Structure 1
Amino acid sequence: FIIKTTSSFLGRYVCTDNDEEFSIALIAFNEAIEKYNEDRGNFWSFAKLVIESRLKNYLRKNARIADSSLEELTEGGMQIKDIGVTVDKTTSDLRDEILAFKKELEQFDITFEILAEKSPKHKDTRDRAIRIGYRVSDDGVLIEKVYEKKRLPIRDISRKFEITEKILKRSKVFILSTAVLFFKKYTNLIVWIKGVK
């Protein structure tokens, strides 16, 4: 879905290994997961809109930097050689984290599409799930069980944190994914998820 949307928008083939636009699209897809609620209609249409919007912004921003004259940039204290390095490094780090996160989730049979579908639609529910995911990631025994059993140990979490099993079951895919995110210390994604919540 992400590759198809990006490729269609750009009008060219998208390489998942080194295309900055693909990284932007992945980030946008995650943003769509976080911000979606049922009032916005079909999730896939909403996600497509978010991806295309972020790609437009990215292309516009790059065009502005490319159009700026050397004098304007150096007068503003920006070193030309540093611009590309900073943007490339951040984008590359984020892309690496997203791809590593995707691979990590595969061992739990979770794809980004499943994560999008199973993510809480309301902000307060999502915030609570993020907090629970963090607490699970911070507990050695619980996170070990997550990796050992390849699922969320609902009963253990319920007892330990005094949270009803019903609440945990409703958001189990999202909580598990968030726990993995925090446990693996995907710094850029953590900063992003904290900002969105």
Structure 2
Amino acid sequence: MHDPELQNLLSLARSGDEQAREQLIRTYRSYIVEVAAGYCGRQLEWENDDELSISLLAFSEAIDTYNPSCGKEFRNYARMVIKNRLIDYFRKEARHRHLPLEGPSQDSEEVPQWEAKMAWEQYREDQLAQERAEEMACFEQVLQFFGFSLGELERSCPKHRDTRDTLVRVARFLASREDLATYVNRYKQLPLKELSQATGVSRKVLKHGRQYILAVFLIVSRNDFSHLRSLFSLSLETLPGTGKDVLKQTTGLKGGDPR
């Protein structure tokens, strides 16, 4: 499927065109099976495996949340959403099912369940690390659309916790206002006057913290960055510094020295 045709179908599906959504699902049906089976490590059948139903719902979610501006192809984005939903499913299943740790009898040639479980957990951790790295690469590309790099964000990160908390509250307020969020996404700038009047934060502070506010706004307002939201603990209304520690957790790479 050519990109213009794909983008048109995605737009139609998001606007409520069920025929366009069904066409996308038909086109990517085999890909959905491929991704799900690859993650589960076994063949899957539509009639018997819940993992495929979950993957289909995840693919539909990807249609609704895909944003071309992140720089990620739709196939890769859909794969990430499918894997995230399967991870959620397996975590829920693990709460209700406990594998015995004892190995098989001496006559059995099966792999001990405890060993299989450890291998499966390692596989999932490797997949998560890859998804986090892909997400960070996407985040870097989006930051470039807004005129700055991850390194610049790191260097401009506020040193004081109170300042960071203030900027996070501003970013969350910005994301909650559809009119202001639309302005930011269109012009790649902060509506300084409106933000200052609405939040009581001076224009000087807002201007100085522009990059930090925009970065948090992007993480909060988009569905592409679920791992970053978790790492940055935004549910607690605070955001740690975007320095080397967070960068290491996300990509396994060292960031530049903050200045």
Question: What TM-score do you get using the length of structure 1 for normalisation?
Answer: 0.57
Equivalent-residue separation in structure 1 for 2:169 and 2:116 (angstroms):
39
Quote the offset at 1:146 in angstroms: 0.7
Q: Which amino acid aligns with 2:218?
A: V
Q: Which amino acid aligns with 2:132?
A: L
> What aligned pairs does 1:22-41 form with structure 2 within 5 A after superposition?
none
> What aligned pairs does 1:10-159 form with structure 2 within 5 A after superposition?
79-159=117-197
Quote the offset at 1:99 in angstroms: 0.9
Quote the offset at 1:190 in angstroms: 0.9
> What aligned pairs does 1:155-166 form with structure 2 within 5 A after superposition?
155-166=193-204
Q: Where do 4+ consecutive residues of structure 1 move more than 4 Å? A: 74-78
- How has the CA–CA distance of structure 1 residues 78 and 131 changed in structure 2, closer, same or farther, with 3 Å as cutoff? farther
Question: Is residue 187 of structure 1 aligned with residue 226 of structure 2?
Answer: yes
Equivalent-residue separation in structure 2 for 1:101 and 1:178 (angstroms):
11
Quote the offset at 1:165 in angstroms: 1.2
Quote the offset at 1:131 in angstroms: 2.0
Question: Is residue 170 of structure 1 aligned with residue 185 of structure 2?
Answer: no
More helix by share: 1
Quote the offset at 1:142 in angstroms: 0.9
Equivalent-residue separation in structure 2 for 1:161 and 1:127 (angstroms):
13
Quote the offset at 1:135 in angstroms: 1.6
Quote the offset at 1:161 in angstroms: 2.3
Q: Which runs of 5+ in 2 are unaligned?
A: 1-102, 104-111, 241-259
How many residue pairs match? The answer is 126
For residues 74-101 of structure 1, the C-alpha deviation after alignment (integer angstroms, 9 at most, x for no partner) is 6868614412321122112211211111
- How has the CA–CA distance of structure 1 residues 124 and 76 changed in structure 2, closer, same or farther, with 3 Å as cutoff? farther
Quote the offset at 1:137 in angstroms: 1.6
Equivalent-residue separation in structure 2 for 1:123 and 1:161 (angstroms):
18
Q: Which runs of 5+ in 1 are unaligned?
A: 1-70
Question: What TM-score do you get using the length of structure 2 for normalisation?
Answer: 0.44
Equivalent-residue separation in structure 1 for 2:115 and 2:166 (angstroms):
43
